[in-house]
Amino acid sequence: MIWPFAKRALPALDAASRARCAALVRQKVDLKRPLADMRWCVVDTETGGLDAQRDALLAIGSVAIEHGRIALDASLEVGLMQTQSTAAANILIHGISGSEQRAGQAPHEALLDWLEFAQGVPRVAFHAAFDQTVLQRAAREQLGLSIDAPWFDAAVVAPLLFPDAASHCRHLDDWLAHFGIAVYARHGALADAYATAELWLVLLQAAQRNKLNTAQQLRGLLRARRWLSVH
């Protein structure tokens, strides 16, 4: 669900963008559907640094999982226009050139495209807290919206379901290698989202073998893990 962000004035949006925002508010998230029937939005972001609260959002890549498989006809990759390109060292990491950054899509339009693609479904990412923070901050700044959607972190779920592999699997590439998942590319927003989606399919199958049949039950496992880590 998405609620209007009340603590700051809305950005100056055109009528069409305001209408798109209003439609997003009506979306609902259903976590009680069987995992096998769920739609998931798997996402990855490219940023101008590692500070999720400050660094620029450069690109969003996202793929959909529907009925237990990656929907090859449902993907999204958008670059957000920057007034100033990031440093050369940062460009070496994400590979988005200065000219590509300056030629990107208007940030509010790119975010609306992604939110409409994501719909009212759970979001999945590897180290999800970073992507969630970046996207929520951008939505507040560009659209005046505060997004309240459930997020699932593949980096947290994987070691819970496969504890024997946790000692030697830390990064996404480690988990992909552990399960023998071959991906066409890495280190771009869409490519990393696709790789995470491949891993998430493995984790969904494992969750169901462990009698976790809904997203709500899977979220309960994550909450129990957090409680145990605190206590």
Residue 38 backbone class (left: φ over 0; alpha: ψ -120 to 50; beta: rest): beta
Residue 81 — φ and ψ, nearest 5°? -65, 135
β-pair partners for 4: 145
Residue type, 231: H
- Cβ distance 46 to 59 under 8 Å? yes
User: pLDDT tens track of the chain, all 231 residues?
Assistant: 444 444 455 568 999 999 999 888 777 788 999 998 999 999 999 999 889 999 999 999 999 999 999 998 889 999 999 888 887 777 677 778 778 878 889 999 999 999 999 988 999 999 999 999 999 999 999 999 887 889 999 999 999 999 999 999 999 999 999 999 988 777 789 999 999 999 999 999 999 999 999 999 999 988 877 655 544
Which run of H or E residues covers position 147? strand 145-147
Q: Distance between CA 10 and CA 12 in Å, rounded? A: 6
